[in-house]
Structure 1
Amino acid sequence: MPVTSPGLLTDRYELTMLTAFVRDGSVGHPAVFETFARRLPEGRRYGVVAGLGRLAPMLADFRFDTAEVDWLRAQEVVDDATAAWLRDFRFTGDVDAYPEGDLYFPGSPVLTVRGTLGECVMLETLVLSVLNHDSAVASAAARMVLAAGDRPLVEMGSRRTHEEAAVAAARAAHVAGFASTSNLAAGRRHGVPTVGTAAHAFTLAHPSEAEAFASQVAVQGKDTTLLVDTYDVEQGIRTAVEVAGPGLGAVRIDSGDLADTAAAARALLDELGAHDTRIVATSDLDEYVITALADAPIDGYGVGTRVVTGSGHPTASMVYKLVAVGFEPDGPLHPVAKKSHDKISVGGGKTAWRTHDAAGRVTREWYRVDGVAEAGATRVQVPVVRGGRLVHDPSLAEVRAHCASALATLPEAARSVSAGRPYLTATLEGETDG
């Protein structure tokens, strides 16, 4: 199976529109497209931007190889003139975006693409595929991180989603504050710390629980985490401490009433002298369950299904819309906007701004369409691509730190997992957040 270039990760209608632009001569006209969400998922107070670190290199490398162009022509997706245009195509536009890990709200112009009509229109599917998926994961993960407080979270949802989505989800969860992942590809590609010990099958594969634990400790050392609920939690803990000694690193509980089981486990571990042995809880966790477990003696969480699948992160619902276009190759840009019911957009390329109070809490977000700088405010977007070249490439550690700082700008009420209105709405300068 040939490797697919970023250019082909798109919907057919992007290229049928391109074909019409080539034929009518507008393919080289200037244009501005923007990505934004009209609303947040029901009850959410904020969103977290994620995926830019994956997307930006693909935008800079957005092109079609010869075999792909030949296939598009053979499938009659494009005509001869458009096929010739695609063979020489390189993205030469500019991209500005909210830094990865930053907050976004309804109306926030998360990503802006400026270039020719032809090169900008083709990016829609790729932009939305990456940003919608990763931002949805990161937004859910951030809520879990805030609920967990100083207790570390492990992302372990690879078996609940597509194999490539699992890698992206692990990265997005780490951006939002998860400490590590079980996914090795995420470790190799993105540098996310990886962890993992053993599953129930490992215990069942041995004649006894004690022999399974002894085998694991022999390989991984006493600081490993032993899964103690294959048969009976109490006996599992006793066996774990007997095999590994009171210096055992951690026990993992994956079933039952986690609050009661963790309390009993902590009491038993202390009784056995394993005072420093940690308790890790897994089993269909989300921000609500983690919040409910706040008082339980749990030292860390493993989260899978509800951070990588739709049940844990409602769609980010970002859209990619044309907001300005030139009707001549070198002519001025004209604002354009949708007026249809419930899908209204604001025309014109935008610059977004924020203000903060004396405590550093974000108090307002708005945008302008005239490009004028706002004194005393912070501009949200940063240059990402210039002339088709990547100019913004922070490390994953820097992105993760930015996300933590951004979440810290929310007031306590907005950081809660309880449902409520979006904390802010980005509005056009002169309007109010109603």
Structure 2
Amino acid sequence: MNSADLGRRVGVPSTALFTDQYELTMVQAALKAGTADRHSVFEAFTRRLPEGRRYGVVAGTGRLLDAVENFHFDDEMLTFLRERNVVDGPTLAWLADFRFSGDIWGYPEGEVYFPGSPILRVEGSFAECVLLETVILSILNHDSAIAAAASRMSVAAGGRGLIEMGARRTHELSAVASARAAYVGGFDTTSDLAAGFRYNIPTVGTSAHAFTLLHDTERDAFRAQVDSLGRGTTLLVDTYDVAEAVRTAVEVAGTGLGAVRIDSGDLLLVAHRVRQQLDELGATKTKIVVTSDLDEYAIASLAAAPVNAYGVGTQLVTGSGQPTCSMVYKLVARAVSADPAEPLQPVAKKSLGAKSSVGGRKWAARRLDEYGVAEAEVIGTGPVPDGLADRQLLAELVRGGEVVAREPLDAARQRHIAARQGLPMSAMQLSKGEPVIPTEYV
């Protein structure tokens, strides 16, 4: 296995300050009260899917494992906390020696989830588990939102190519995470070289309108690009007149031109005209790539167009209107001591309204119908029913503080394809609706 497939983790900085202050002040108070070491179970889940979505997509698990592995407080961080009086001396001493030593189970990356699904279960002392809350939610909420949008776009594309190109529309670090999540959700390539370097995602890119405008004529620009990148390159044909540009492109590159890109106008109409023109010029194998503020609905509307690939930016990296999954991280069980053998007591928030939660350490399984299609997400705290024993969803990710479940990113990508195919056909509808299968508690 190529190490690049697992992501480049060398030199990753500490993630310990990617947290909220109250995580540390809770640790301080628990240390003083003598409850910090109580054996505890936390779970990450969402009470509901984003409005109208029929399923969620787990993404960011690999990044999360990196974050847990690199969660430690160095001298500079401890000095910062001391100078700001964030926590007291005994807590600083405890933080100086901190390394997560507990266990983590979770839905494998690429799996789908539903309301209440225990997407991640973190078990250890209260103090070490609570410290991870913010960074876990930050990663899962962002990456799963992007992957869900990518999945919907992949469904709409119907097997045509998808290019992630949203780096210029978001923060430079979230751009890398977005490209990774989009790849899990079904995108094929990215324009972002940092994502390609870090996660071994295939990268693509040729030229922008500025390159055409740089040259005295469009023909000069095309010739310069073909001379540099070869006849298989993609030429951008909508800087001036599209029909003239297509004619010039084939004259310069020949009928072996790789592709043309259309970035404006009525994409459905223009794509049909360009395809007809390319065919008449003998460039029957030249592909058509379209860009221009696409989302899953725009992609679906182009299903009848002779388009080979879509480039998506803004709508993808913002979750196509749903930039977060509203996941939460709750204490669901705890003991009265640090002894893992001590019985766990279920605990749960009982507030009014929709913010209550279900206590107890949970398992989850997906029940299938007679055709092998998912019909319910089943969640429980007691024994797993015999019929569901081989359908359990949580996998061991971290054991005793050591990561045990690293995998190539392509494994998560393929898992998502399989998980999506196992859902009822109505899951593929882009119209708003309820979760495609119900959540049942037993």
- 2:441 — aligned with what? 428
Q: 1:395 aligns with which of 375, 388, 408?
A: 408
Measured in 1, the distance between the counterparts of 2:161 and 2:286 equals 15
Does residue 59 in structure 1 map to residue 59 in structure 2? Answer: no
- 1:369 — aligned with what? 381
TM-score, normalised to structure 1, is 0.96
Q: 2:355 aligns with which of 333, 336, 343?
A: 343
Shift in alpha-carbon separation, 1:118–1:373, aligned structure 2, 3 A: farther
Question: Post-superposition, which runs of at least 4 consecutive aligned residues in structure 1 deviate over 4 A?
Answer: none
Structure 1 range deviating more: 378-387 or 357-366 = 357-366
The 5 Å alignment of 1:34-433 reads: 34-330=43-339, 331-340=342-351, 341-372=353-384, 374-376=386-388, 377-429=390-442
Measured in 2, the distance between the counterparts of 1:343 and 1:19 equals 26
Measured in 2, the distance between the counterparts of 1:149 and 1:312 equals 21
How far residue 25 of structure 1 moved from its aligned partner, in angstroms, is 1.1
Which amino acid in structure 2 is aligned with residue 426 of structure 1? T
How far residue 70 of structure 1 moved from its aligned partner, in angstroms, is 2.0
Measured in 2, the distance between the counterparts of 1:233 and 1:257 equals 12
Structure 1 range deviating more: 180-189 or 338-347 = 338-347
How far residue 3 of structure 1 moved from its aligned partner, in angstroms, is 7.7
Unmatched segments (≥5 aa) in structure 2: 1-10
Measured in 2, the distance between the counterparts of 1:247 and 1:284 equals 29
Query: Would you say the 8 A contact 1:322–1:337 is kept in 2?
Result: yes
Secondary structure of 2:24's counterpart equals: helix
Query: Would you say the 8 A contact 1:283–1:303 is kept in 2?
Result: yes
Report Cα offsets for 1:168-227 as digits up to 9, x if no partner: 000000011100000001001001000000000000011010000001001111010000
Structure 1 range deviating more: 362-371 or 393-402 = 362-371
How far residue 335 of structure 1 moved from its aligned partner, in angstroms, is 0.6
How far residue 357 of structure 1 moved from its aligned partner, in angstroms, is 2.9
- Could you say what the CA RMSD is over the residues aligned between the two structures, in angstroms? 1.4
Which amino acid in structure 2 is aligned with residue 334 of structure 1? Q
Query: Would you say the 8 A contact 1:106–1:424 is kept in 2?
Result: no
How far residue 60 of structure 1 moved from its aligned partner, in angstroms, is 2.7
Which amino acid in structure 1 is aligned with residue 134 of structure 2? T
Query: Would you say the 8 A contact 1:33–1:120 is kept in 2?
Result: yes
How far residue 81 of structure 1 moved from its aligned partner, in angstroms, is 0.5
- 1:432 — aligned with what? none
Measured in 1, the distance between the counterparts of 2:420 and 2:101 equals 34
Which amino acid in structure 1 is aligned with residue 368 of structure 2? H
Report Cα offsets for 1:216-257 as digits up to 9, x if no partner: 001111010000000111111011111101110000000000
How far residue 4 of structure 1 moved from its aligned partner, in angstroms, is 4.8
Structure 1 range deviating more: 70-79 or 86-95 = 70-79
Structure 1 range deviating more: 147-156 or 313-322 = 313-322
Shift in alpha-carbon separation, 1:217–1:53, aligned structure 2, 3 A: same
Report Cα offsets for 1:136-180 as digits up to 9, x if no partner: 000000000011011010000000000000000000000111000
Which amino acid in structure 2 is aligned with residue 31 of structure 1? S
- Equivalenced residues, count: 428
Structure 1 range deviating more: 409-418 or 272-281 = 409-418
Secondary structure of 2:68's counterpart equals: helix
How far residue 333 of structure 1 moved from its aligned partner, in angstroms, is 1.6
Measured in 2, the distance between the counterparts of 1:20 and 1:282 equals 53
How far residue 368 of structure 1 moved from its aligned partner, in angstroms, is 1.4
Report Cα offsets for 1:74-125 as digits up to 9, x if no partner: 2111100000101111100000000000000011000000000000001110
Query: Would you say the 8 A contact 2:44–2:327 is kept in 1?
Result: yes
How far residue 8 of structure 1 moved from its aligned partner, in angstroms, is 1.1
Secondary structure of 1:342's counterpart equals: helix
Secondary structure of 2:355's counterpart equals: coil
Give me the identity figure in percent.
56
